[in-house]
């Protein structure tokens, strides 16, 4: 078989309430800050709506990530289907769940992605690493806000 199938799960704990973490996914300006830095980004955060991110990889190839929201339960979960294209060639197709759980004043986020990776394109480990970096960038954004409140 030429198609590689892979699943990964990432967990992060953020020292802010669930509503704040959910809003970072739901608000286009916040989402662009931590997920689509330096890229063109649009987001229609409704069931059936699309999020589209366009940028370039390190070799100058145009990348387009397009996600469709299939379920949104405020402060609980977001489910998407998505594709990634390199230039005009399909690279991956995936299904992703992002779950939000209150843990006292903190939030436990669990992101699971099931991907299909086409030959000669993106690799599962690259996608997992890139997604982990985005979630770390989100943590840094919360840390900056926490520092500003303390000062």
Q: For each of the domains in the chain, give its residue range(s) and CATH number, in order of start.
A: 4-150 (3.30.530.20)
From residue 110, give the alpha-carbon distance in Å to each of 31, 91, 97, 102, 138. 17, 24, 8, 12, 14
pLDDT tens, residue order, the chain (151 aa): 699 999 999 999 999 999 999 999 999 999 999 988 889 999 999 999 999 999 998 888 899 999 999 999 999 999 999 999 999 899 999 999 999 999 999 999 999 999 999 988 888 999 999 999 999 999 988 876 544 444 4
Q: Which residue has the tokens 């005009």?
A: 88
Q: pTM of the full predicted structure?
A: 0.90
3-state secondary structure of 9: strand
């Amino acid at each position: 078989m030429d198609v590689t199938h892979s699943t990964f799960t990432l967990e992060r704990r953020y020292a802010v309430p669930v509503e704040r973490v959910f809003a970072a996914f739901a608000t286009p300006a916040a989402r662009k800050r931590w997920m689509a830095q330096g890229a063109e980004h649009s987001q229609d955060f409704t069931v059936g709506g699309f999020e589209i991110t366009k940028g370039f990889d390190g070799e100058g190839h145009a990348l387009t990530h397009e996600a469709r929201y299939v379920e949104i339960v405020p402060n609980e979960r977001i489910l998407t289907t998505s594709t990634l294209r390199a230039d005009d060639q399909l690279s991956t197709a995936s299904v992703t769940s992002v779950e939000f759980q209150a843990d006292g004043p903190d939030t436990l986020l669990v992101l699971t992605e099931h991907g299909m990776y086409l030959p000669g394109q993106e690799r599962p480990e690259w996608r997992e690493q890139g997604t982990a970096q985005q979630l770390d960038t989100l943590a840094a954004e919360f840390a900056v806000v926490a520092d500003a409140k303390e000062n």
